[in-house]
Structures are given as structure tokens and as C-alpha cells.
Amino acid sequence: MNAVLEMPYDDEPILTEAQVAAIHDPVHWQQQLQVVRDRLVVIKPIDPLTAKQCAALAVVCTVAAKHAESQRTAITDPLNQQVKEHNAIWQPIVKGFDELGRIAKSAVSQWVDEQRKAAERVQQRLIDEANAKQRALDDKARQEREEAERLRADAEKATTIDEAEALHQQADTLEKKAVTHELKASQVVTLVAPMPPKTLDLGSSSLSTKAPKNTYILPGWDKQKPLKLTDPKLALLLGDLAALPAGLQFVIKHADINPVYLNKSFGVLDFPAPFGIVPDYSGASVRGK
């Protein structure tokens, strides 16, 4: 390929293919790139001569790009091969530890969540027991005061002084008991159930758990890539495609479900079967000290 380009106003050629191949310094490439850029601003194909000049610039650019690419790949191909080889070794190890760590963190988070929920149930039972005890004492005090009032009313109707005094004494005794029961009711204390901590202290590090968040699942789909609507996993959702209009069948056959959009819709729309809702315990985090 002859990449020589001589301009009517400049006797110096831009580049020949041999000259291009001989350039190894990126600075020289950048300089020649600027030369071609400047000349392309000047040259506009308005007649046969300028059209040939513009075409010659295109040839120069093609030759230069080819040789620049060859020099780039001469450097990057061995590096890329090394990167590929190292990735083949290390990426499965990294992904393996990440996945096992996620499983372990999820298991701990689930256990802590279950323990805390159990503690909450115990705490609620203790609250209910304390409230019931308090209500029983208050009810007993109320009944005693009502009985004391009845006795005092009877004392007013008594036919003898001794009978009236006896009724008043009974009323006094009941009122004292009522005061005692009211005092005991006010002193009822709700016991506190021990609550497991959310963070497990491991000395040099710690694992902080989080309450689960609901997420959606579709059995057999990892939600990493879009899923074709015609996938058998969605058969229950779509029903009989043959019964649908031809245009809708066409759209369904060429459409997919994107997990990005599903994530945005989750919590806003109801997800029908075969989708399911499960708790997600993956929010735990490890911290070093």
C-alpha cells in the first residue's frame, strides 16, 4: 500500500508505510496524528484533486492505525494473557471465599435473628405476666373498696351501736387490704429478658448482623442475567401462549425479564407465582480491629 501523500503547497510527504512501521515512540505517533488532523481541517473534497488528497489522508490513517494497533497489541497481548492466566487461578478462589463467607454470614445472621425474636417473645410474655399480676391486684383492691363501701352503708342501717362498729371495723380492714394491694400493684416490675447482641465480638474482628429483608426468588434462576419470557420457569405465569394474539406472542417470544427492573418493582408490586418471597440474611458485615 502506497501511503505517500504530497500536497500541492507542501513538498514533504506525510508518511510512507515504511516510515509508519518504523515509528515506535508514542510521541511520534501523537505528532503525526496532529499533522493529519491539521491537514484534514484544510482539505475538503470539492474537486477531483482535493478528493484524491482527502482519500490519501484516509489511506494514511488506515496504515497508521494498523501499525499503531500492532505495536499496542505487541505490548498488551502478553500482558492480557498473563492477566487471563492469573484470573483463571485467582478468580475462582476469590469467588469461592466470597460465596462461603456469604453463606457463613447469612447463617449467623439468621441464628441471631431467630434468637432475638425468641427473646422478644419471652419479653412479651414477661410483660403480659406483669400486666396480668398488676390487673389482678388492682381488681382485688377495687373489690375490697367496693365491699368496704357496702359495709359502711350497712353500718348506717344497723339497729345497734355494736353492730355498726363491727361493720365499720370490717370496712376498715378491707380498706387497709385495698391500700396494700394497690401498693403491691404499683410495685410490680417487668423482668427484662436478655437480648442477644447483633454484633459478635471475635477479639481481633467482629461480625455485625442485620435483620433480614424480604426478597423475591424464582426457583432455578440466579437473577444475574435477564430471563427469557419463554423460559419454562415462567410457564405457570404465562399460561397458554397459543391462546394469545399473534402480536402478543411475537413480543413475548422476543422479550425477557430484567432483574434490574424487578428489583425496582419489588415491594411496590405483588409478585405472583411462581415467584416466592424469602428472607434475605446477606446484610451482615465483617470488621477488623
> Residue 55: pLDDT above 60?
yes
Q: H-helix or E-strand containing 80?
A: helix 48-156
Query: For residue 72, what pLDDT is reported?
Result: 87
Compute CA distances 122 → 8, 108, 130, whole Å: 96, 21, 12
> Residue 20: pLDDT above 70?
no
Percent of the chain predicted with pLDDT > 70: 91
Percent of the chain predicted with pLDDT > 90: 59
Q: What is the mean pLDDT of residues 192-197?
A: 92
Query: For residue 128, what pLDDT is reported?
Result: 96
Query: Of how many residues is the chain composed?
Result: 289
Give the Cβ contact number of residue 184 at 10 Å.
16
Query: For residue 19, what pLDDT is reported?
Result: 63
Q: What are the backbone dihedrals phi and psi of residue 226, each rounded to the nearest 5 degrees, phi first?
A: -55, 150
Q: What is the pTM of this model?
A: 0.65
Predicted confidence band of residue 270 (pLDDT cuts 50, 70, 90): very high
Residue carrying C-alpha cell 387497709: 176
- Over residues 64-117, the pLDDT tens digits come to 888 888 888 988 999 999 999 999 999 999 999 999 999 999 999 999 999 999
Q: H-helix or E-strand containing 181?
A: helix 161-186
Query: For residue 10, what pLDDT is reported?
Result: 43
Mean pLDDT of the chain: 88
Predicted confidence band of residue 5 (pLDDT cuts 50, 70, 90): very low
> Residue 16: pLDDT above 80?
no
> Residue 271: pLDDT above 50?
yes
Compute CA distances 186 → 22, 65, 126, 127, 182, whole Å: 98, 90, 16, 14, 6
> Residue 188: pLDDT above 60?
yes
Query: For residue 288, what pLDDT is reported?
Result: 81
> Residue 11: pLDDT above 60?
no
Q: What are the backbone dihedrals phi and psi of residue 287, each rounded to the nearest 5 degrees, phi first?
A: -125, 140
- Over residues 149-177, the pLDDT tens digits come to 999 999 888 888 889 999 999 999 999 99
Sequence-ordered list of residues with C-beta below 8 angstroms from that of 44, at least 6 positions apart, any chain: 50, 54
Query: For residue 171, what pLDDT is reported?
Result: 92
Least trusted range by pLDDT, from 36-40, 121-125, 227-231: 36-40
Query: For residue 40, what pLDDT is reported?
Result: 86
Q: What is the mean pLDDT of residues 204-226?
A: 92
